[in-house]
Structure 1
């Protein structure tokens, strides 16, 4: 249950962040908004880490260099989301983001990338994503 609550919170925050970053970018520019957002996120994470003290910074040596790209992906996510919202609106942007995330998750699970155990996808999973895509197409119909 806790996982579901955190997933719901994360999804809500992604949407709120996209809208807020779009407003910021209207004022100062998109890459400036990305930089500001990443910096504020860094400060918040640093404050939480200082309070919680869970983990040791020395362990960073054990992190595979490929995984350090996560922060870079964060910057690209913010830029892409802001740009998309400016062009196609919040609802359509988030719908496409969700489908993109789900498709990437399918690939990662099926291939077992990043050291994860390969998962078998069956007809219900493929039907689910197909229904989502159809839903987005209906949503985008004007």
Structure 2
């Protein structure tokens, strides 16, 4: 339950991040707002790593290079939300992002990519997708 609560909190923060970054983009620009978001996050995590880290950052070169792209993926997500929020709103942006997230998560689980356990795609997951799509259609309906 602790992990579910933690992820729900992360969802709250992500929903807040999108309109905050979109607001900043009106003042400084879209790419600049994305940069400020990631620079602030990097500074925060750098300090947390300095004080609470386990001290293994120097082993980074031992990791496969494809594992280094997480920041690029996150930057793409932030940039996309900054562009979308002023045009389609926070809820529609979040729901569309959640749908994309769920779709890729189902593919990753089904095939066990990136070292996660295989969780086959079944009818119950398909029903979940149909319900999310229905919710997306309702949110976009004016």
> Which category of TM-score, normalised to the shorter sequence, fits these structures?
over 0.9
Q: Structure 2 CA distance, aligned partners of 1:13 and 1:31? A: 20
Structure 1 stretches lacking a partner, 5+ long: none
Q: Once superposed, which parts of structure 1, at least 4 consecutive aligned residues long, lie more than 2 Å away?
A: none
Match of 1:130 in 2: 130
Q: Structure 2 CA distance, aligned partners of 1:139 and 1:85? A: 14
How far does the alpha carbon of each residue in 1:49-82 deviate from its partner, in whole angstroms, 9 at most, with x for none?
1111224112212211001011111111111011
- Alpha-carbon deviation of 1:136? 1.1
Q: Give secondary structure in 1 for the equivalent of 2:69.
A: helix
Q: Structure 1 CA distance, aligned partners of 2:55 and 2:112? A: 26
Q: Structure 2 CA distance, aligned partners of 1:57 and 1:138? A: 45
- Alpha-carbon deviation of 1:133? 0.6
Most deviating of 88-97 and 57-66: 57-66
Q: Structure 2 CA distance, aligned partners of 1:20 and 1:90? A: 10
Q: Give secondary structure in 2 for the equivalent of 1:121.
A: coil
Most deviating of 32-41 and 53-62: 53-62
TM-score (norm 1): 0.95
Q: Structure 2 CA distance, aligned partners of 1:109 and 1:74? A: 20
Q: Give secondary structure in 2 for the equivalent of 1:106.
A: helix
Match of 2:49 in 1: 49
Backbone CA RMSD of aligned residues: 1.0
Structure 2 stretches lacking a partner, 5+ long: none
Q: Structure 2 CA distance, aligned partners of 1:88 and 1:139? A: 10
Q: Give secondary structure in 2 for the equivalent of 1:6.
A: helix
Q: Structure 1 CA distance, aligned partners of 2:15 and 2:53? A: 29
- Alpha-carbon deviation of 1:117? 2.0
